[in-house]
Amino acid sequence: MSEKKFDLVVIGSGPGGYVASIVAAQKGMKVANIEKSQTLGGTCLNVGCIPSKAMLYASEQYENSTKKNGNEDWGINYNQVSLDLPKLLNKKSSIVEELTKGIDFLFKKNKVTKYFGEAKLISSNSIEIMNNGKKDTIYSEKIIIATGSKPTSLPKIDIDEKRIVTSTGALNLSHVPKKMIVIGGGIIGLEMGTIWRRLGSDVEVLEYLPRILPGMDNEVAEKFLKIVQKQGITFKLNHAVESAQINDKAVLLSVKDVVTGSIKKLEADVVLVAVGRKPNTDGLGLENINLDIDKQGFINTNKNFQTSIPNIYAIGDVIRGPMLAHKAEEDGVAAVEIINGEAGHVDYNLVPGIIYTSPEVAVIGKTEEELKENGVSYNKGVFPLSANSRAKAINHTEGFVKILSDKSTDKILGAHMIGHEAGTVIHELSMAMGFGASSEDVARICHGHPTVNEAIKEAALATYSKAIHF
C-alpha cells in the first residue's frame, strides 16, 4: 500500500499538470501523475500549441520562399520552390516527440511517478487507473485535476477528423485542400486557416458573430480582419452553419445568414470546426464523489483552487479563466504553493493572449470596451508600426501598439498590439503592468534603436499626447 500512497496525485500531464507535478516534487512531496494518453504533454504539446506553431513557422517559410509576399521587391528571387507536405508533418511530429521526451526526463529527474491510463475518482483520496484492461488503484492526501479541455462540436455536424475536422485533424491532413471552410473566427480558426492558406488552400471563415476574435479589443479585431482579408482569407460574418453532409467529392454545408435569414449552400474539401473548447472532465467519476461543476461543465473552485471537496484542487482549462497553456502553468504553480502552505496567486488580468499569425496579435489587461462598461476613465495612446524604423527595415509595418492607462493615476490598464513578434514584445508591458507601472514610467525607459519595442515607448508617450515620431 505504501508504494501507492502519495502526498499529491495530479490527473493530467498538460502544461498545468506536468508543471504542478514537478514543482510539488521539488518541494519534497511524493508525487504521481496520471495521463490518459500514451504520451506526456497534453493537448498543448501533442495536438495544440506546439505542432500548430511548428506548422505556422513552416508555412510562413514556404510562403516567404515564393513571390507571394513581395520578396522580389528586395531583389530576392526564388525558382522551383515546392512543398513536401509529408516531410513537413514529419518534422512537426519530431519536434513534438522531442518535447514529450523532455517532460519524461523532467519527471524522472524530479522523481515524479507516472501512470498511463484513464483516471477515475473513487473517493476523495483514491483514484482508479484503467490501462489496457488492467486496473490499479492509488491513494493520495491531495489531488489536482488538470485534465484540460477538448474541442466543442456543433449540432448536426459529425466530425470524422478527415473531411470534417477539429484542430487535431487539421494538423494532420494528408494533402493540401483546394477549398477549406473554417467554422469560427477565433484564435484557433484563424491560426489553422492561415497555415493552410499559406500552403495553397482557398480558405473561407464562417463566423456567427458580426466580428472576429470575440472578447478581444474591437479596434484590434477590426484591423486584424482587414489584414487577413488582404492576405487572402475570405469571411462570412453573421453566418450560422445549419448542417453538414459528406459525399464522395465534397463537404456540403447549409449556412444561414443570421441577419437576413437567407440560406446558402457551400462546398469545401475540408471543413474545420473551431468554435471553442470545453472542459474535459468526462469519465473522471466526479459524480461518484459529488464534486461540484457549473452548467458549462467547469469545475467550481475557490480562490485557492479548491473544489467543493477541500483536498481536491482543479487548475487550467477545467476551471474558469483564460483557456491558455501559460495560464494553466501559473495555476499549477500557485495551487502547489497553496497546498504547501505558501501564498500562491494568479492575476488573470496579467495573462497575455497571443495569435501566432504574421503579423502576430498580442493583448494583455483590459480592452477599451471593458473600461467603458465599467465606467473607468482612461487615456489611450496608439502608435502605428508604419512609423517605426525597425518595422520599416524588416518589411513588417502592418499593425500598431495601443496602451490604455488610468486617466487619474496613469497606471497601465491594458495593452494591445498587432505586429511582428508581438507575442514577444508584449512582455515588456506584461512586466510593467505586473509592477504597477504608469505610462510615463515606460515612456522614460531608454529603448534600444532600432527596435520594434520603440513603438511601445511611443504609444506610452501618446497616452499623454507626447509621441515624438508620429
pLDDT (tens digit, 9 = 90+) per residue, 40-97? Answer: 999 999 999 999 999 999 999 999 888 666 677 788 888 788 999 999 999 999 999 9
Could you tell me which CATH number the domain at 350-462 has? Answer: 3.30.390.30
C-alpha grid cell, residue 435 = 509592477
Q: Which three cell numbers stand for residue 164?
A: 470534417
Q: How far is CA 459 from CA 343, 394, 465, in A?
A: 35, 20, 9
pLDDT value for 69 = 61
pLDDT of residue 77: 80
Cα(346)–Cα(355) distance, integer angstroms = 22
CA 314, chain centre distance (Å): 19
DSSP count for the chain of H helices, then E strands: 14, 22
> Which of 345, 427, 449, 469 is the catalytic position?
449
As a CATH number, domain 164-275 is 3.50.50.60
Taking each helix axis as running N to C, give the angle between helix 49-64 and helix 85-109, from 0 to 180 degrees, rounded to the nearest 10: 140
Q: Go through the chain and tell me how many residues it has.
A: 470
The mean predicted confidence, pLDDT, of the chain is: 96
256/73: higher pLDDT: 256
| Alpha helices for 256-367 (secondary structure H) | 325-339
Better-predicted residue by pLDDT, 68 or 312: 312
How does pLDDT run across 358-398, given as a tens digit for each residue?
999 999 999 999 999 999 999 999 999 999 999 999 999 99
Span 279-291, average pLDDT = 95
- For β-strands 400-406 and 378-384, DSSP reports them as antiparallel
Task: For residue 302, give the C-alpha cell.
Answer: 475557490
Q: What is the pLDDT of residue 177?
A: 98
Number of Cβ within 10 Å of residue 42's Cβ equals 31
Stretch 208-231: mean pLDDT = 97
At 2 the pLDDT is: 58
What is the arithmetic mean of pLDDT over 304-308?
A: 98
The Cα angle at residue 113 between residues 107 and 119, in degrees rounded to 5: 115
Q: Sketch the domain layout of the chain as residue ranges.
A: 2-151+278-346, 164-275, 350-462
Q: Is residue 131's pLDDT more than 80? A: yes
Q: Tell whether the model's pLDDT for residue 312 goes beyond 60.
A: yes
Calpha distance 438→449 (Å, rounded): 22
- Cα separation of 241 and 219, whole Å? 27
Instruction: Quote the pLDDT of residue 103.
Output: 98
| H or E segment to which residue 400 belongs | strand 400-406
Q: Between 187-198 and 218-231, two packed helices, what is the crossing angle to 10 degrees?
A: 20
- Is the pLDDT score of 309 beyond 90? yes
Q: Is 416 a catalytic site residue?
A: no
Q: Is residue 407's pLDDT more than 90?
A: yes
- Residue whose entry in the numeric block shows the C-alpha cell 493615476: 409
Specify the pLDDT at position 1. 47
Q: Is residue 10 helix, strand or coil?
A: strand
- What mean pLDDT comes out for the span 214-234? 97
- Quick: pLDDT tens for 3-47: 799 999 999 999 999 999 999 999 999 999 999 999 999 999 999
Quick one: how far is CA 119 from the chain centroid?
A: 25
Report the half-sphere exposure of 204 (CA within 13 A, side-chain side): 15
**Percent of the chain whose pLDDT exceeds 90:** 95
Distance of alpha carbon 47 from alpha carbon 90, whole angstroms = 14
350-462 matches 2-151+278-346 in CATH topology? no
Fold category of 2-151+278-346 in CATH: FAD/NAD(P)-binding domain (3.50.50)
Average pLDDT of the segment spanning 338-347: 97
Could you tell me the CA-to-CA distances from 48 to 159, 211, 459 in Å, in that order? 17, 24, 33
CB of 382 within 8 A of CB of 402?
yes
